[in-house]
Structure 1
Amino acid sequence: MPRLNLLEETRFEKLPVTVYPDMLTASKVVAGRIAAIIKKKATEGKEAVLGLATGATPIVVYKELVRLHTEEGLSFKNVVTFNLDEYYPMAATAAQSYKVFMNKHLFSHVDIEPQNINIPDGELAQEDVAAFCLEYERKISEYGGLDLQILGIGRTGHIGFNEPGSAPNSGTRLVSLDELTRHDAAHDFGGKANVPAKAITMGIGTIFKAREIILMAWNEKKAGIVKKAVEGEVSAEIPATYLQLSENVEFVLDTDAASLLTRFDTPWLVKDCVWDTRLIKKAVIWLAKTLNKPILKLTEDDYNANGMAQLVIQNGPVYNINIDIFNKLQHTITGWPGGKPNADDSQRPERALPAKKRVILFSPHPDDDVISMGGTFIRLADQGHDVHVAYQTSGNNAVWDDDTLRFVEFSVDMAKAQGDNTDKQQASYNEMREFFKTKSPNQRDPHYIETIKGLIRKGEAIAGARFVGLDDNHIHFQDLPFYDKRKVSKDVSYEADIQQTMDLLQQVKPHQIFAAGDFADPHGTHKTCFDIIHEAIIRLAKTEEWVKDCWLWLYRGAWFEFETYEIEMCVPLSPSEVERKRLAIFKHQSQKDRPVFPGDDAREFWVRAEDRTSETARIYNQLGLAEYEAMEAFVRFPLAP
């Protein structure tokens, strides 16, 4: 019976999927499977032939293989490897080359024979590439084919560098990279313009010949493309869907990457559910959106026709369910994000007391505060709360070089106008111009240039916070050390960052904390900044009484909003408040028009912010609630142990 239930639950999935609670657990399982193949082949006196991938996805797998080698004696003497791909052209010694990547994460730490390592050659003359690709295929066949091929998946659905349009029988070849793939690689190359336009990749046909194929995917960023690859139709537009045709494939996912699969996202469509409050809210809002109906107009037929008959039987009648969810949504709406004084707060998202709260808004970058929750920021200040803002990092990565020159030129000219000696400033300016002329893609700026870029962003942040209504002594610049340290190494200690955050929290003793809740990228600045705040609060809670009365609210950035069913506080903005928020964003001139790291979206930050909040308002109105110009959404993060 359990097997039948599982088959029913996964009936939309067209290939085997195993879901683990987190990336670490899943990576250790995959590493264990690789180790088992290596050991089995060794006992048979044979070579283990492995197809390996690069990128962030397999890094923890390689780390575990290195541990198995150093701590448990796993030998790689009998291992032969073939890497999936390499950029073209690409120098073997370049920081972005996959040869450097593999040596860094695996090969230089184990006892593999150098002659057994095979990676596509990015330094070949173009006329020699075709012959090399044929030889790569021949060599794989000479070893009897791949015992195991591990894969990641790109946001275009590519496996290896088999981009949309790739044929299912394709072999190793030179390909052109999709624009989205190049965009995703831009950070490693110091800009999309520096990402090679081509790559050498194993073909889908080559991958299919492996005796086992494991595709791994972690975090929410991959959830959308994973759903298409697993549940969608086979299509050349999403090459990973070809894996549905293999009998030897398995997708290994963490819970975040699997979150949009039907059995997790809309489980009522495939199984009986345990209908708790959160799931009921999610299902009813989903039904209203799917049918484009206000919640109060949903009928029993609507529920029955969309997999929700069990809910009606257990919690009906439908009218009562609709009223309950409508009221829950309505109670998230408040014009008093700090709590409404002298009001019954039993149905409000925030407490009425104390009437004037101490508030600290943590902003990972110097403009996240006004972009993400500028209207609420203004409302809190207008309503008389004791509001502080803390800019956690300098944001110096995101200032254009020519903007930096412009500010220094102004400084030199200003000093000249005042009759000051400008020799030192002029020398620094000249040095800076020479550095920018020869600066290579992704090269780190010297410390004095990073300082200038940080000062540019600091000045903009001060202007924005003053515009909101804060006094200068309520504007804090943490300049957390991890931000610059991670430019040198990803392996850094966060202790100094945590201690600094604890000191600030102890100084303010807030009733409310607002923090960025963008967790899709587990290694991104927003997630790191949140983890620092969270750890600081956990430590303070052991000794500080005020923490018991502190609530932590999460906001989202300019790209994506919380799902409607997740929202616990929604602050409506009038047209004039939207305009004030826009003007606060405009204070960040270095980020306007064309930011250094624009993400996938070509719109300016202020446009994205307005579109996001107007869309939230539109959804609330579609569900049958009042119509507002815009709405900023928040989710409360539980701090209780």
Structure 2
Amino acid sequence: MKDNASLAYDVPGKFEETRFEKNHNVIFKSAIEASQNVAQEIAQLIRYKQSSNELCVLGLATGSSPIKVYEELVRMHKEEGLSFSNVITFNLDEYYPMTKENRQSYHYFMHEHLFNHIDIKPENINIPDGTVTLDKLNQYCLDYDKKIMQLGGIDFQLLGIGRTGHVGFNEPGSHINSGTRIITLDHITRIDASSGFNGIANVPKRAITMGVSTILRSKRIVLLAWGQNKADIVKRTIQGDISADVPATFLQNHSNTTFVLDQFAASELTRFKTPWLVGECIWTQELKSKAIIWLCNETKQSILKLTDRDYNNNGMSDLLALEGSSYDLNINMFNVLQHTITGWPGGKPNTDDSNRPERSNPAQKRVILFSPHPDDDVISMGGTFSKLIKQGHDVHVVYQTSGNIAVTDDEALKFAEVGLDFIGDHSNGIDFLSVIEDLKNKTENETDSLEVRKLKGLIRRRESYAATRYIGLKDENTHFLDLPFYETGQIKKNPLGPEDIAIVAEIISKIKPHQVFAAGDLADPHGTHEVCLNAIFAAMKKLKSESYMNDCWLWLYRGAWHEWDIHEIDMAVPLSPDEVLIKRHAILYHQSQKDRVMFQGNDSREFWVRAEDRNKNTAKTYDDLGLAQYEAIEAFKRFDY
């Protein structure tokens, strides 16, 4: 085995050290590919230890980041005969207090994702015990560390990273010499965990965590980070100074640590964000756009005011030399951005469309607006949605999932009681008395009954009809797919399956669209957007040979968490003040998602506020760059499938 990096990462081009980076890191196109590489390294270590008749001591993490690693290890056990008979595991942490049977416990998580599916000996599994009494907890933690040391230390430690920069539950302020102990969780950490607990009030305030010093004594450490949400903290950890304010920076002191990232988590690193500050660049049109917009922000000037000196003083002298003058660069960039702006998202009939983002013909287009949940349509593109209808296009909105998991029990109970008062025991196949009893007697670990899930799905459905009617869409153009992967009754969903893809393909083949709008935001807290987008990609690939698909363009919008960067935008649709109000009112029809948003991620604002702020910020950015001033702008990126 290598001293500083596993053979699994010895791939040219995936790691390019720069003067900004203080941790070895490798970047993959996807979390799946990255996870498979990490699982291969773990398997390689286990087999090496087996060949030497030695125990293999693994430190394991929980959360969403390592799930694909565990899936690959399970696959290798079942299909390749990888045995875990010589493996001893130590988990990083556990909520306190927490019973092993609780679905939110890390004991439950580890058995569900790994231990129940491999041949590890039960006595070789070590997970902090969230039921130890406080008077015995200090000794318990000392014994946890002692057991690790008696086994010769951890051979391989798997880590994730929280938005506070915590590893394990070592929150800001943790000392480099800290051992396993009880700790108070940071408020941000509790917010991030709140969706799994149905609200922050139910998230434990404390946890038992392996300490920083315990982690740093590991012989090999691999930290995983996926997605845009982790990009800022990844940059602070890899490029920042060592500080207890970001405990993950202590890993800079470890000689055998690798950060394994997907391209989204790595996106804020200097070599990706501003590569012209690192070295020579191949100046593609996209990189030119990115650099010039960055330069405007740095100099606080509009595009047409940038000078030769601005380019030379900010690491872009080679671009200036290549193009000849700042004037040429500026005017070309101005035109590129200007041509993204259109008030006709379906194309403007009977006009020259050579410099417009959409085709002018056919004048009336068949349009599918895919919405992962029953509100992403109006949150993300409510203004464009309204314009498409008003401009005479045949618009269909397709809700891919029921969204039932996002309805609180209190909200469902309210509707059940109204239904019982108004109609009686049964309506639309729902036994209201049974639903009320189920909700009132539901325990913290209990999955919703089919009746409760049906009611919650109907709540979301009727809210969607109300919103789309307000915008002007006919009821017959509103479709609900209720994709099977989502219908587990739990936060954890099933993998995307052939049935899901077939359902999506069927609606596309029925409508034969000229335009498809889909959610390209992969930052939602539980991954539903990503699964829904993959279903669309797979369905469109399946239908690609159909003649009508030659005229079908795919436009991606962003959801409630992030907007496209300006250089990524292919179509910018301005909204008037009245259109902003229409969008706001449409969002507010989704009343079950107002005030108490269950899956809001790391943003405490309500969805309508996020949407307005985001759209107004996009408009302001265009204005600051020297383009026309608008009240708000919705943004889209064209995707070649």
List aligned pairs for 1:1-20, cutoff 5 A: 10-20=18-28
Provide the rounded CA distance (Å) in 1 between the counterparts of 2:496 and 2:430.
36
Amino acid in the other structure paired with 1:563: D
Contact in 2 for aligned 1:375/1:573 (Cα 8 Å): yes
Contact in 2 for aligned 1:8/1:271 (Cα 8 Å): no
Deviation of residue 378 (structure 1)?
A: 1.0
Deviation of residue 614 (structure 1)?
A: 0.3
Q: Which runs of 5+ in 1 are unaligned?
A: 416-421
Question: Equivalent of 1:211, from 216, 219, 235?
Answer: 219
List aligned pairs for 1:475-514, cutoff 5 A: 475-485=478-488, 487=490, 490-492=493-495, 494-514=497-517
Question: Equivalent of 1:57, from 54, 58, 65?
Answer: 65
Question: Equivalent of 1:298, from 301, 306, 309?
Answer: 306
Residue 334 of structure 1 corresponds to which residue in structure 2?
342
1:281 to 2:283 alignment: no
Deviation of residue 59 (structure 1)?
A: 2.4
Pick which of 139-148 and 372-381 moved more. 139-148
Deviation of residue 71 (structure 1)?
A: 4.0
Provide the rounded CA distance (Å) in 1 between the counterparts of 2:16 and 2:590.
52
Residue 471 of structure 1 corresponds to which residue in structure 2?
474
Provide the rounded CA distance (Å) in 1 between the counterparts of 2:305 and 2:491.
57
Pick which of 511-520 and 327-336 moved more. 511-520
Contact in 2 for aligned 1:364/1:391 (Cα 8 Å): yes
1:528 to 2:536 alignment: no
1:349 to 2:357 alignment: yes
Deviation of residue 486 (structure 1)?
A: 6.9
List aligned pairs for 1:233-382, cutoff 5 A: 233-382=241-390
Provide the rounded CA distance (Å) in 2 between the counterparts of 1:6 and 1:541.
32
Provide the rounded CA distance (Å) in 1 between the counterparts of 2:351 and 2:445.
54
Question: Equivalent of 1:123, from 115, 127, 131?
Answer: 131
Provide the rounded CA distance (Å) in 2 between the counterparts of 1:457 and 1:393.
10
List aligned pairs for 1:327-476, cutoff 5 A: 327-415=335-423, 422=424, 424=426, 428-441=431-444, 443-476=446-479
Question: Equivalent of 1:160, from 168, 176, 183?
Answer: 168
Deviation of residue 442 (structure 1)?
A: 5.5
Deviation of residue 565 (structure 1)?
A: 0.3
Question: Equivalent of 1:598, from 591, 600, 605?
Answer: 600
Amino acid in the other structure paired with 2:539: A
Residue 581 of structure 2 corresponds to which residue in structure 1?
579
Deviation of residue 64 (structure 1)?
A: 3.1
Provide the rounded CA distance (Å) in 1 between the counterparts of 2:121 and 2:415.
54
Spell out, residue by residue over 1:451-485, the C-alpha distance to the aligned partner (whole angstroms, 9 max, x if none). 22222222221121111112222222222222214
Provide the rounded CA distance (Å) in 2 between the counterparts of 1:616 and 1:489.
34
Provide the rounded CA distance (Å) in 1 between the counterparts of 2:395 and 2:494.
34
Pick which of 289-298 and 389-398 moved more. 389-398
Deviation of residue 97 (structure 1)?
A: 2.2
- Residues 329, 9 of structure 1: CA spacing in aligned structure 2 closer, same or farther, 3 A cutoff? farther
Q: Secondary structure at the match of 2:637?
A: strand
1:631 to 2:633 alignment: yes
Q: Secondary structure at the match of 1:453?
A: helix
Deviation of residue 216 (structure 1)?
A: 1.7
Q: Secondary structure at the match of 1:87?
A: strand
Amino acid in the other structure paired with 1:578: V
Provide the rounded CA distance (Å) in 2 between the counterparts of 1:593 and 1:158.
29
Provide the rounded CA distance (Å) in 1 between the counterparts of 2:51 and 2:233.
39
Residue 555 of structure 1 corresponds to which residue in structure 2?
557
Pick which of 361-370 and 620-629 moved more. 361-370
Q: Secondary structure at the match of 1:241?
A: helix
Deviation of residue 25 (structure 1)?
A: 3.0
Contact in 1 for aligned 2:516/2:555 (Cα 8 Å): yes
TM-score of the aligned structures, taking structure 2 as reference length: 0.93
Q: Secondary structure at the match of 1:541?
A: coil
Deviation of residue 369 (structure 1)?
A: 1.3
Provide the rounded CA distance (Å) in 2 between the counterparts of 1:120 and 1:83.
7
Provide the rounded CA distance (Å) in 1 between the counterparts of 2:355 and 2:506.
34
Pick which of 283-292 and 597-606 moved more. 597-606
Provide the rounded CA distance (Å) in 2 between the counterparts of 1:323 and 1:136.
65
Deviation of residue 185 (structure 1)?
A: 2.0
Name the count of aligned residue pairs.
630
Provide the rounded CA distance (Å) in 2 between the counterparts of 1:405 and 1:36.
52
Deviation of residue 441 (structure 1)?
A: 2.8
Pick which of 385-394 and 167-176 moved more. 385-394
Provide the rounded CA distance (Å) in 2 between the counterparts of 1:118 and 1:160.
15
Spell out, residue by residue over 1:500-534, the C-alpha distance to the aligned partner (whole angstroms, 9 max, x if none). 22222222211111111112359622122222222
Pick which of 325-334 and 78-87 moved more. 78-87
Amino acid in the other structure paired with 2:19: R
Spell out, residue by residue over 1:353-376, the C-alpha distance to the aligned partner (whole angstroms, 9 max, x if none). 111111121122221111111111
Q: Secondary structure at the match of 1:405?
A: helix
Residue 546 of structure 1 corresponds to which residue in structure 2?
548
Contact in 1 for aligned 2:425/2:433 (Cα 8 Å): no
- Residues 320, 219 of structure 1: CA spacing in aligned structure 2 closer, same or farther, 3 A cutoff? same
RMSD of aligned alpha carbons: 2.4
Provide the rounded CA distance (Å) in 2 between the counterparts of 1:106 and 1:498.
27
Pick which of 71-80 and 206-215 moved more. 71-80
Provide the rounded CA distance (Å) in 1 between the counterparts of 2:93 and 2:303.
50
- Residues 209, 288 of structure 1: CA spacing in aligned structure 2 closer, same or farther, 3 A cutoff? same
Pick which of 42-51 and 529-538 moved more. 42-51
Provide the rounded CA distance (Å) in 2 between the counterparts of 1:620 and 1:76.
56
Provide the rounded CA distance (Å) in 1 between the counterparts of 2:310 and 2:422.
70
Residue 192 of structure 1 corresponds to which residue in structure 2?
200
Question: Equivalent of 2:148, from 140, 155, 170?
Answer: 140
Contact in 1 for aligned 2:413/2:439 (Cα 8 Å): no
Amino acid in the other structure paired with 2:432: Y
Residue 108 of structure 2 corresponds to which residue in structure 1?
100
Provide the rounded CA distance (Å) in 2 between the counterparts of 1:584 and 1:295.
36
Amino acid in the other structure paired with 2:624: Q
Deviation of residue 489 (structure 1)?
A: 6.6
Contact in 2 for aligned 1:85/1:161 (Cα 8 Å): yes
Q: Which runs of 5+ in 2 are unaligned?
A: 1-10
- Residues 338, 66 of structure 1: CA spacing in aligned structure 2 closer, same or farther, 3 A cutoff? closer
Pick which of 332-341 and 446-455 moved more. 446-455
Provide the rounded CA distance (Å) in 2 between the counterparts of 1:584 and 1:65.
46
Provide the rounded CA distance (Å) in 2 between the counterparts of 1:70 and 1:348.
53
Deviation of residue 208 (structure 1)?
A: 1.1
Pick which of 47-56 and 229-238 moved more. 47-56
Provide the rounded CA distance (Å) in 2 between the counterparts of 1:221 and 1:550.
31
Provide the rounded CA distance (Å) in 2 between the counterparts of 1:332 and 1:534.
24
- Residues 245, 489 of structure 1: CA spacing in aligned structure 2 closer, same or farther, 3 A cutoff? closer
Amino acid in the other structure paired with 1:382: K
Contact in 1 for aligned 2:77/2:83 (Cα 8 Å): yes
Contact in 2 for aligned 1:9/1:263 (Cα 8 Å): no
Provide the rounded CA distance (Å) in 2 between the counterparts of 1:487 and 1:7.
38
- Residues 429, 490 of structure 1: CA spacing in aligned structure 2 closer, same or farther, 3 A cutoff? closer
Residue 185 of structure 2 corresponds to which residue in structure 1?
177
Provide the rounded CA distance (Å) in 2 between the counterparts of 1:404 and 1:99.
30
Q: Secondary structure at the match of 1:93?
A: coil
Amino acid in the other structure paired with 1:551: W
